[in-house]
Structures are given as structure tokens and as C-alpha cells.
Amino acid sequence: MKPAIDEIWGWLDQVPDPEIPVISVVDLGIVRDVQWVGDQLDVAVTPTYSGCPATRVIAMDIETALRDHGIANPRIRTRISPPWTTDWLSEKGRDRLREFGISPPRAAGGPDACPRCGSTDVEKISQFGSTPCKAHWRCRSCLEPFDYFKCI
Amino acid sequence: MAADPFFEFLCRMGDNTLVLGHRVSEWCGTAPVLEEDIALANTALDLIGQTQMWLGLAGEVEGKGRSADDLAMLRDAWDFRNVLLTEQPNGDFGQTMMRQFLFDAWHVAMLDALTRSTDPRVAEIAAKAVKEASYHVERSGDTVIGLGDGTDESHRRMQAALDLLWPYVGELFVPDSVDDAMAEAGIAPDLTDLRAAYDDHLAKVMATATLTIPDSAFAHKGGKSGFRHSEHLGHMLTEMQWLQRAYPGATW
């Protein structure tokens, strides 16, 4: 019997993002579609940034997780349209990012507060950070640097 | 026999991002400060990612079984279709950022127009890439302003970079038969239509940067047609393609 689609989404929600392991690939909003096509499971994955080196690892991690759950021959497809947006990050994912010390994306284009001390006195150090999806900020109150998840 | 203009066009898009992406990656580990090193590496990564999409589609359109990797690593200089601007050497950090801004300002406008392409595959790639390019131009524009309106030394270097690179801007906007065919098919915009907004954008940034745009419309050409690349491209490819040339088919 084929596992239900909802159950499979639950499995995928256990697959961590390789670079930000506190959130799952589902939280990140890159798993766009899961469906059975005949006896083959078809999963559509949207890359965050076109050159993100984690993309291939993510596809492999998803495939491994599905095989571990007994899915014999999953097909992982890359779907570039519509392009990924940080609007697709789940609420759970946003909360986890904040707890982890990464300020979640905001339409305003910058973090609302320092994820460590909560101060709103923050400044941008660089538009780019340790991964393609992050920028580098600093808190002027506690003086700690922190990552901000870029809003795109 | 004339090459398929659609294939040529896709190679131009992909070779621009490939060559500039490789150039920018040459800074990895040697940029003036850590933050800039990371920013340059991220920019390079975006450009190489976009290359995979453009050259992937080029290979598909060509229909001879060539992959994006085959096109990137196994063509020689005369088959490259990037504009001359992208292959110019990095120079100092300011020159690199000037080159980046001159390209980014065009790239964003071009990609934005391509999101309305009659070819859905082109429109999809452009929609993905324009988000990244918008982010690039924000940074490169800010950096040109910061260094142009900085110290006497940084101002001098930025003006020298603008004077040096300005003659390479024209090629981005002068259409040839490939561009005409693409515009006619609605696949790409008429390049001349992009010029006025580009000039406005540049005028604003350069004025804020206290830099003077050279009063010359002279344009070096020959990159996107492949007719005459500068000597720099061959040297760059020697390094970029070394692994596949020395160990054909190597994978990891």
C-alpha cells in the first residue's frame, strides 16, 4: 500500500536543512509538491539561491529519507518557477531561526531586533553572510554579531 | 551556416554570468576584508548558479547532448559569447566593484525585461535570477558610492576604474543580428530600449559618488559575437578549464 501524502510531508518535515539544521526542508518552503504518479513518488524542490551549494545535498537528503521510509524509487525534481521566496518559510521555521540566533526575514529588509538580547539598536555589517540566504548584522547593545535571513 | 540565434542568445546570457562569476571568484580568500571576501564569493556563487540555468537551456535548445558543464568547460575562447566587460581583469577592489556595478545595472534591467519573454523557460530563469541581481546591484552601487565619495585615494581609483571600463559599456546595448532576431520573436527586449533607464541609473549613482562619466560613446565590441575577445579571456579559461582539460571527464 502506498503511504498517504500527508504522512510523507511529515517525514520530509524531519529532514533538516544541511546548513541551518534547526529548520526542516519543509520549514524552509523549498518542498513545493509531493504526489504519486502511478507507483512513483514525485517530489518537486525549489532551490533557494540558484548557486546554493546545499541544493544538491538537500535533494540527496530527501531521497535518502524517503528510501529509509520504504519508498523504492522517488523522483526529485528541481522546479525553478515560481521562484523561491522567504514568504514560504513556515511560522515554526521562523521561531526556530530566532531561537537559534538567526533573525528571520522581514519585508522591511532588516531584522526587527537582536536575536540574542532583543535590542532594536542593530546595524548592517554586510549584505552577505555565511550562506547565500543570510546577511551579516551586529547588535549595538550587546555588541554581538548575528545572522539575518535575507528577505527575497 | 549561421548559428541558431536562440542558442547564441542563451550562450551570451550564460557566458556573461560564467565569466564574470569566475572573475569575481578569483577574489576568494584575498579580498581586502573578510566581509567583502564573503560578499564577493556569494555574488560569484549566484552568477555561477545562473550560468547552470542559462547554459543548461542552451544545451537543450542546441539538441546535441551538450550539458551546461560541457559548454562551460570544453569550449575555447572563440566560442564564448560574453561581453568584453565581464572578462576584464579584476584590477584593484575598486575596479572590480566598478565592473560589477556597470554590469549589474544592465543585468537587472535585462532580466526584468526577460521575465516577460515569450519563451516561458527564459521567463522562469529570469524571474529567479532577477532577485539575485537586484541584491547585487544594491551592494555594488553602494560600494561605488562609498569608495567614489570616500578618501582622495579611493576617489582617484574609482574615477580611474570608470574611465578604464566605460568603453566596455556600449557593447551591452548595441544590438546585432542575434539581438534583433530575439527582439523580433519577443524572446528578449530591444537592447536599445534599456539604455535610457541605465543612463539615468548611472547618472544618479555616479553623481552621488562624485565621479564623472566620460564624455565618449566609443564602444569596444567583439565579445558577444565572439569575433574578437580581449587577450584576458584566454588566460582566464586556461585556469578555469584546467581540470577538465588535464583530466577529461573527471567528476567527484
Q: Per the CB < 8 Å rule, is B128 touching A152?
A: no
| Residues of chain A where predicted confidence (pLDDT) is lower than 70 | none
**Structure confidence at residue B2 (pLDDT):** 60
* Residue A128 to residue B43, Cβ atoms within 8 A: yes
Is the bond into A132 cis (omega within 30 degrees of 0)?
no
- Chain A residues close to B125, C-beta within 8 Å: 80
Distance CA(B21)–CA(B12), nearest Å, equals 14
Exposed, middle or buried: residue B10 (CB in 10 Å: 0-12, 13-18, 19+)?
Answer: buried
Q: What is the pTM of this model?
A: 0.93
Out of A84, A126, A150, the one facing B39 most closely (by C-beta) is A126
* Rounded Cα gap, residues B21 and B132, in angstroms: 13
Characterize A50-73 residue by residue with b for buried, 16 or more Cβ atoms within 10 angstroms of its Cβ, and e for exposed. Answer: bbbebbeebbebbbebbeeeebee
What distance in Å separates the CA atoms of residue B108 and residue B92, rounded to the nearest whole number? 24
Task: Mark which residues 46-75 of B lie under 8 Å from A by CB.
Answer: 46-50, 52-53
Is B124 in CB contact (< 8 Å) with chain A?
yes
> DSSP assignment of B138-173, as one string?
HHHHHHHHHHHTS-HHHHHHHHHHHHHHGGGTGGGT
Spatial distance between the Cα atoms of A65 and A85, rounded to a whole number of angstroms: 25
pLDDT of residue A152: 84
How large is the C-alpha radius of gyration of chain A?
A: 17
For chain B (252 residues), the mean pLDDT of every run of 10, in chain order, is 86 98 97 92 96 97 96 96 98 98 98 98 97 95 97 98 98 96 97 97 98 95 95 97 93 80
Which residues, listed in sequence order, are joined to residue B157 by a DSSP beta bridge? none
Structural domains in chain B, CATH included, are: 5-246 (1.20.1260.10)
Which of B35, B47, B128 shows the shortest C-beta gap to A80? B128
Contact A132 B38 (CB under 8 A): no
- Best of B25, B34, B42 to substitute, by most chain A Cβ atoms within 10 angstroms, is B42
H-helix or E-strand containing A89? none
CA B148 to each of CA A28, A80, B184: distance values in angstroms, whole numbers, following the listed order: 39, 37, 40
| Phi, psi at A115, each rounded to 5° | -70, -10
Of B4, B19, B54, B12, nearest to B234 by C-alpha is B19
**Cα B58–B62–B67 angle (5° rounding)?**
55
| Parallel/antiparallel/unpaired status of strands A75-78 and A40-45 | parallel
Q: How far apart are CA B141 and CA A61, in angstroms?
A: 38
Set of cell numbers at residue B206: 555616479
CA distance, residue A3 to nearest chain B CA (Å): 33
The alpha-carbon gap from A147 to the nearest alpha carbon of chain B, in Å, equals 13
Q: What is the DSSP letter of A80?
A: -
Cβ-based neighbours of B44, under 8 Å, separated by 6 or more: A51, B21, B22, B24, B25, B27, B28
Sign of CA dihedral B200, B201, B202, B204: positive
Q: Which residues in chain A have Cβ-Cβ distances shorter than 8 Å to B49?
A: 47, 49-52
* A87 φψ region: left (φ > 0), alpha (ψ -120 to 50), beta (else): alpha
Report pLDDT digits (tens) over A42-77: 999 999 988 888 888 999 999 999 999 999 889 999
Domains of chain A: 5-87 (3.30.300.130), 101-149 (no CATH)
Query: Whose CA is closest to A143, among A128, A122, A113?
Result: A122
* Vertex B188 angle, CA B87 and B22, to 5°: 20
Picking from B39, B128, B129, the nearest residue to A128 by CB comes out as B39
Selected for mutation to probe chain B from A48, A49, A50 (highest B CB count within 10 Å) is A50
All three cell numbers of A130, joined, read: 555565511
Q: What is the DSSP string of B198-232?
A: HHHHHHHHHHHTT----S-------STTSS---HH
